[in-house]
Chain A
Amino acid sequence: MTQQQTTGGDVRLTGISKTYGSFTAVHPLDLTVPQGSFFALLGASGCGKTTTLRIIAGLEEATTGTVSLGGKDITGLPAYKRPVNTVFQSYALFPHLDITENIAFGLRRRGVKSVRKQVGDMLELVQLGDFARRKPHQLSGGQQQRVAVARALINHPQVLLLDEPLGALDLKLRRRMQLELKRIQTEVGITFVHVTHDQEEAMTMADTVAVMNGGRVEQLGAPADLYENPKTTFVANFLGTSNLIEGEIAGCGTDIVVSAGGGKLRLPGDRCSAPAVTGGRVLLGIRPEKISLAHADAAGRIAEGRNRVTGRIVDSSFIGVSTQYVVESPAGRELQVYEQNIERDARLVPGAEVVLHWNPAHTFGLDASQSKLAGTMGDAGVETVEDVS
């Protein structure tokens, strides 16, 4: 692999698109996955992420565009000639072969004679040493998943593709496998491209996340960057929860002043992806955990310079580490607020009049011409393409 490091083993998609008849699964997209990174393609089902992955694997032919690996064009190469291996969602272990033969499959196809040592090492890496002679159906879901990873990794691919490999596992096991996969990736240093619809999974595991929607990449960046600076309402809503308040720009400077819900709110000018023109419409975004909640009687003690919105609590739910409030206000019908359970104000119950306040620096601005609901659960704004995997 040292050779790839010097020449650069980046995966580069250029103008890749896929259409089925009149149906566009992937719009022309350009994507670069740097060598050695853990890259996640995140999106709702049918957003084109699996199709993109299969194009890299060579299991699907792109309608247009090229795929290159380490500077070499592999667009025309069939799947079995690409130095790329896949962990399938259903694991796709060969039912007629035992675990050893499953893992050795790739080596044997390439004419490697003595596979014993390598298979042993792999079994150790995924901690399945005692299961070498079992058949896949005798293993649990988590164990099968690890066999699938071992079967791919043993070939030392330049890129490992993971197609929702944790989807079939229960929550607890999924958390464990996330850490496990991350550990393996750090250990072997191979580029991982991970497809998932689980935003938490993508954020915990990946260095870089590409959020896909309707066959397009909406935004690409490090998890924290995507979370703090979403550029579209889809990203704002799909990654975590966002409060989006619509308003009119009243003044521009280093800070943009927006009038919304009968008050004035400020946001840093460099955090606004919408055109800043006085009189223009803008969506103001703020994450629920960034908001503090004060009872209306205590409003006077709120520090100067903070953004304020008045409202009334309509619902509260105790989560343990935090309490989640739903607040009705002129600025928005259902504003979400998460408060840490440190010093709970007993007056903060449904029906109470409250003031929401936050540091203006935590506010981001979005173009108001897009749907406020894009990317929310059960939202019609999520553009989907048929799942063709």
Chain B
Amino acid sequence: MPALRWIRRNLIVIAGLLTLAYMIVPNVVVMVFSFNKPNGRFNYAWQQFSLDAWKDPCGVADLCSSLSLSFRIAVWATIGATVLGTMIAFALVRYRFRARGAVNSLIFLPMAMPEVVMAASLLTLFLNMGAELGYRTVLIAHIMFCLSFVVTAVKARVMSMDPKLEEAARDLYAGPVQTFVRVTLPIAAPGIAAGALLAFALSFDDFIITNFNAGSTVTFPMFVWGSAQRGTPVQINVVGTAMFVIAVTVVLVGQLVANRRKNNARP
């Protein structure tokens, strides 16, 4: 039975390809349907190829304003969470202080809490404080839940860092600032970058917490949700596809640069 033998020999490859397809097919659907020309309001059935949506991505009312708002929130949330999270991670790894263990576990609380419960509780908190719901409350909420992820990512990196490296820098005439900029930061950078990317992604497409605490402000995920009640504009798929392509390009370029550096190192 040659066919059976072939299957047996290539089973791992087949399983791998199937899993890959399982993960990629939804993305492909998003891309394909960004070129659709739907008949009616809903972009659920393939009609015919068209570049209309790509030519006019802001053609739907409020889409681009919500998109830019989401971007702004994501950028600020990323900056806020990365700076705070990096500091927390260094403190947790480098210093022995009272309640360090407790802080270590508390950091994980936002990750463990069901998001919808967290969202409702945050709303209660904001209302009780008399805070005006909107851009600011959303930003505060986003920094809060992104923090745990940044801390986790940076902590892993800092833990694997040899503290002797900083001593060596100090020994080699680098003052505290120079040591941090020339040694600590570059070595911790991959962890910090991973944390920042995670924070950006989480903030950008967060719906539940944002929906509870946004007041009348509309972010991109909220816009998609809202429009889905009345119909789904093709432009949503265009935005999704564009972001996917940008993300993949960034990763590929990064890998290419890293590869070239590695090759240069071996003359």
A residues bordering B, Cβ < 8 Å?
Answer: 57-59, 78-81, 84-86, 88, 90, 92-96, 98, 105-106, 109-110, 133-135, 138, 151-152, 155
B162 touches A90 (CB 8 A): yes
Expressed in whole angstroms, the minimum distance between the Cβ of A209 and any Cβ of chain B is: 24
| In the complex, chain A residues whose CB is within 8 Å of the CB of B179 | 80
Contact B264 A92 (CB under 8 A): no
User: Shortest CB–CB separation between residue A113 and chain B, in angstroms?
Assistant: 15
**What is the CA–CA distance of A59 and B167 in the complex, to the nearest angstrom?**
7
The reply to whether A88 and B173 form a contact with Cβ atoms under 8 Å apart is: no
Please, which residues of chain A bring their CB within 8 A of the CB of B187? 94-96
Contact of A109 among B165, B172, B186, B266 (CB under 8 A): B172
Q: How far is the CB of B221 from chain A (nearest CB, A)?
A: 37
B172–A59 CB distance below 8 A = no
A80 touches B170 (CB 8 A): yes
Known: A96-B186, A109-B178, A133-B267. A79 touches B170 (CB 8 A): yes
Q: Give the number of residue pairs across the A-B interface with Cβ within 8 Å.
A: 72
Encode B167-200 as 1/0 by CB contact (under 8 A) with A.
Answer: 1111111110011001100110000000000000
Residues 250-267 of B contacting A (Cβ, < 8 Å): 264-267
A109→B173 contact, CB < 8 A: yes
**A78, A90, A94, A138 — most chain B CB neighbours (10 Å):** A94
Closest to A86 in B: B171
Q: Are B164 and A92 in contact (CB under 8 A)?
A: yes
Chain A nearest CB: distance from B208 CB in Å? 39
Q: How far is the CA of A151 from the CA of B182 in the complex (A)?
A: 16
Residues of B within 8 A of A88 (CB): 164, 167-168
Q: Which residue of B lies closest to A106 (CB)?
A: B172
B186 nearest CB neighbor, chain A only: A96
Across the interface, name the chain A residue whose C-beta is closest to B267. Answer: A133
- Return 12 A-B CB contacts under 8 Å, by A number: A57-B171, A79-B171, A80-B172, A80-B173, A86-B171, A88-B164, A90-B164, A92-B164, A94-B165, A94-B183, A135-B265, A155-B173
**Complex-state Cα separation, A110 to B178, whole angstroms:** 11
- The count of residues in chain B whose C-beta lies closer than 8 Å to any C-beta of chain A is 22
Across the interface, do A92 and B165 meet the contact criterion of CB distance under 8 Å?
yes
Task: Determine the chain A residues whose CB is within 8 A of the CB of B172 once the complex forms.
Answer: 80, 85, 105-106, 109, 151-152, 155
Known: A88-B164, A92-B164. 15 other contacts (CB 8 A): A59-B170, A80-B173, A80-B175, A80-B178, A81-B173, A86-B171, A88-B167, A92-B162, A94-B183, A95-B187, A105-B172, A105-B174, A106-B172, A109-B178, A155-B173
Q: Select one of B165, B171, B265 contacting A59, CB under 8 A.
A: B171
User: Once the chains are docked, how many angstroms separate the CA of A58 from the CA of B167?
Assistant: 10
Q: Report the separation of the CA atoms of residues A69 and B265 in the bound assembly, to the nearest whole angstrom.
A: 40
Cα(A138)–Cα(B266), bound, Å: 9
Chain B residues contacting A133 (CB-CB under 8 Å) are: 264-265, 267
Q: Chain A contacts of B168 at CB under 8 A?
A: 86, 88, 92-94
Residue among B165, B168, B186, B264 with max Cβ neighbours from chain A (10 Å): B168
Q: Which B residues touch A58, using CB under 8 A? A: 170-171
In the bound assembly, the distance between CA atoms of A30 and B264 in angstroms comes to 51
Q: Taking A86-B168, A92-B168 as contacts, is the C-beta distance between A80 and B174 under 8 angstroms? A: yes
- Which residues of B sit under 8 angstroms from A86, Cβ to Cβ? 167-168, 171
Inter-subunit contact A109/B267 (CB<8 Å): no
Closest approach, in angstroms, between the C-beta of B213 and any C-beta of chain A?
40
B164: nearest residue on chain A (CB-CB)?
A: A92
Give the complex CA separation of A59 and B187 in angstroms.
21
Cβ of A96: which chain B residues have Cβ within 8 Å of it?
A: 186-187
Could you say which residues of chain A place their CB within 8 Å of the CB of B169? 94, 105
The answer to whether A110 and B173 touch (CB under 8 A), given A95-B187, A138-B265, is yes
Task: List the A residue with the shortest CB-CB distance to B261.
Answer: A135
Give Cα A374 to B103, complex, Å.
46
Give the CA-CA distance A332 to B77 in the complex, in Å.
Answer: 77
Nearest residue, chain B, Cβ from A148: B168
Inter-chain CA distance A86–B166, complex, in Å, is 12
The smallest C-beta distance from B26 to any residue of chain A, in angstroms, reads: 38
- Chain A residues lying within 8 Å of B175, measured Cβ to Cβ, are 78, 80
CB within 8 Å of A: which B143-165 residues: 162, 164-165
Least Cβ–Cβ distance between B187 and chain A, in angstroms: 6
Q: How far is the CB of B240 from chain A (nearest CB, A)?
A: 36
CB A68 to nearest CB in B, in angstroms, measures 19
Task: Give the docked Cα–Cα distance between A80 and B173 (Å).
Answer: 4
Closest A residue, CB atoms, query B264: A133
Task: Quote the shortest CB–CB distance from B163 to chain A (angstroms).
Answer: 9
Residues of A within 8 A of B173 (CB): 80-81, 106, 109-110, 155
B182 to chain A, nearest CB (A): 8
Q: How far is the CA of A98 from the CA of B175 in the complex (A)?
A: 21
Given the interface pairs A109-B172, A109-B174, the reply to whether A79 lies near B167 with Cβ below 8 Å is yes
The listed residue with most A CB atoms (<10 A of its CB), out of B173, B178, B265, B266, is B173
A84–B171 Cα distance when bound, in Å, is: 7
Q: How far apart are the CA atoms of A79 and B168 in the complex, in Å?
A: 10
Closest A residue to B189 using CB positions: A96
Complex formed: what's the CA distance from A90 to B164 in Å?
8
- The CA-CA distance from A152 to B169 in the complex, in Å, is 11
Q: B174's closest neighbor in chain A, by CB?
A: A109
Residues in B227-267 with C-beta less than 8 Å from chain A: 264-267
Among B172, B173, B264, max chain A CB count under 10 A is at: B172
Contacts of B171 in A (CB 8 A): 57-59, 79-80, 84-86, 152
